[in-house]
Amino acid sequence: MQISAIALQGLNQAQAQVEQAGGRLASIGANTVDGTPVDTADLSTAAVSLLSAKDSFATNIKLLKVADEMQGQAINLLA
C-alpha cells in the first residue's frame, strides 16, 4: 500500500472520530427515540476523543508531506 493511501485512510478515520464526538456533544438537550431528554454527556471522553483526532490529523498530514518529499526525491534520482 502506498504511503499517501495510508495517510488518507488515517485522515478519514480521524474525521469519523471527530464527527462521532461532535454528535455525542450535540445530542445534549435533545430527546432520545423514546422521548426522554439526553441531559448528560461524558465531556472528558469527548475531549480526549477530539484531542486524539487532532493529533491523528496532524500526524497524517506530516505523513503526506513525507510521502510527497520521497516522491520528489525519487523523481530527482530518475531525472
Give pLDDT tens digits for 12-26: 999 999 999 988 888
Q: Tell the burial category of 18 from Cβ atoms under 10 Å away from its Cβ (0-12, 13-18, 19+).
A: middle
Domain boundaries, position 67 = 3-30+37-78
Give pLDDT tens digits for 54-77: 999 999 999 999 999 999 999 999
Give pLDDT tens digits for 29-40: 777 677 776 666
Instruction: Give the pLDDT score at 40.
Output: 66
Distance between CA atoms of residues 56 and 54, nearest Å? 5
* Number of structural domains the chain divides into: 1
What integer is the mean pLDDT of 1-10?
Answer: 88
